[in-house]
Amino acid sequence: MNTIEKALMHGLFVHLHHNIDRVIDFKGFQELNRKVEEKWPGALIVGPEANDDSAVFRLPDMDGYIVGKMESHCSPCVPRPYDAAATGAGGAMRDVVAMGGRPVFLMDFIGTRPLEQEVIIGPCGFKGRCDCGKCKITTSQDRLNTMIKGIKDMCSQMNVFVVGGGFSTSFSDIVPAVVVAVIGKLITEKPLTKPAKNAGDKIISIGVTGKDGNDTLYRAGLVDEMRPALALFEEEEVAMEAAIAAFETGKIKACSDLGAAGIGAAVCESARYGSLGARVDLSKVKVSDPEITPEEILICETQARYLVQTPPEDVDEVMQAVMAKTENVEVIGEITDDDSEIFEYRGETVAQIPNSPSKETLEELSG
């Protein structure tokens, strides 16, 4: 394994962000939901055991389907509270879109230290003291105001209501709690579930990839400083409308938003869950910085991006629909019938990720 393979595989197979079922009993929820199904038949379409981007359900006696997602951005709020709160809201909205929905309502919960206590905003915040001279020392109240503004500004850009939430000052940890739940309406005929559907389907990238958002590298211990993704507001709205334009063609078979571990995780999870593989040319991806490395293209968590999959005969129609909203779209790869995902850059392999790593590999990654 090379360095980037270790980082991506650590995120996919070891870190709990992508392996929630190791600590939460999804089977228990599934048993509960089967019981409740007797009371509300046909209400739950996509539940937690699917491990998809969002839940999909319907209210009895109401037409249409609802899409719901809850997401936290706690740790990134230490160095960048405004951007992290905004990207937490934007990320949950993208998860709703990725299922074929349009976000409409948001609720948030923020838990922080008592309002009069001092907090450190910046790269040294996790240590509880500033050694770099670049951090800002402020009060918990000021940081709270900053986080709320990030959420509010994202909702304003995306035309999403804030309809409620919760608040607590009983937290004593350096890291505040910042959690958002987004509810939207399904606008596709059926949910765009994450698993890839057919070998040969083309992978289309919507949005622009940058160098920000190195969280996966940080969690894997490969960098010393976490640099959370920057909030993108107008770009987030444009990417959403472009994705919805693609959905309206009726030709999209699967969609993923590009969150934790970026393109790498989105492609690998979709292919693996569909018992398929993928091949991606990272040199085709639209980027904001000409000096970006292939590894950053693969794994950075830049906001306002989606991947959609469509049969090859429908690519032109989908591209035309997306390009009516944005020029930041490109075919970057295809689904294969292999059991691994291969990421190339200018003819050279950057990473190859197996769908089922060996026991020895998993032990090495865990260590």
Q: What is the mean pLDDT of residues 189-194?
A: 95
Q: Tell me which DSSP letter residue 209 carries.
A: B
pLDDT for 248 equals 98
Specify the domain boundaries for CATH 3.30.1330.10 within the chain.
53-191
Tell me the whole-structure pTM to 2 decimals: 0.94
Specify the domain boundaries for CATH 3.90.650.10 within the chain.
1-19+193-367
pLDDT for 360 equals 94
What's the pLDDT tens digit per position in 24-57?
Answer: 999 999 999 999 999 999 999 999 999 899 999 9
pLDDT at 238 over 80: yes
pLDDT at 220 over 80: no
Contact call for residues 130 and 74 (beta carbons, < 8 A): no
What's the pLDDT tens digit per position in 138-147?
Answer: 999 999 999 9
Backbone angles phi, psi at 151, to 5 degrees: -65, -45
pLDDT at 240 over 80: yes
Contact call for residues 283 and 179 (beta carbons, < 8 A): no
CA distance 315 to 323: 12
Mean pLDDT of the chain: 94
The CATH number assigned to the domain with range 1-19+193-367 reads: 3.90.650.10
What's the pLDDT tens digit per position in 303-351?
Answer: 999 999 999 999 999 999 999 999 999 999 999 999 999 999 999 999 9
Provide DSSP, 146-161.
HHHHHHHHHHHHHT-E
Contact call for residues 355 and 272 (beta carbons, < 8 A): yes
Residue entry with tokens 């469509």:
310
Choose among 152, 327, 323, 155: nearest CA to 237: 155
pLDDT for 225 equals 72
The single-letter code of the amino acid at 32 is L
pLDDT for 36 equals 97
User: CATH says 53-191 is which class?
Assistant: alpha beta
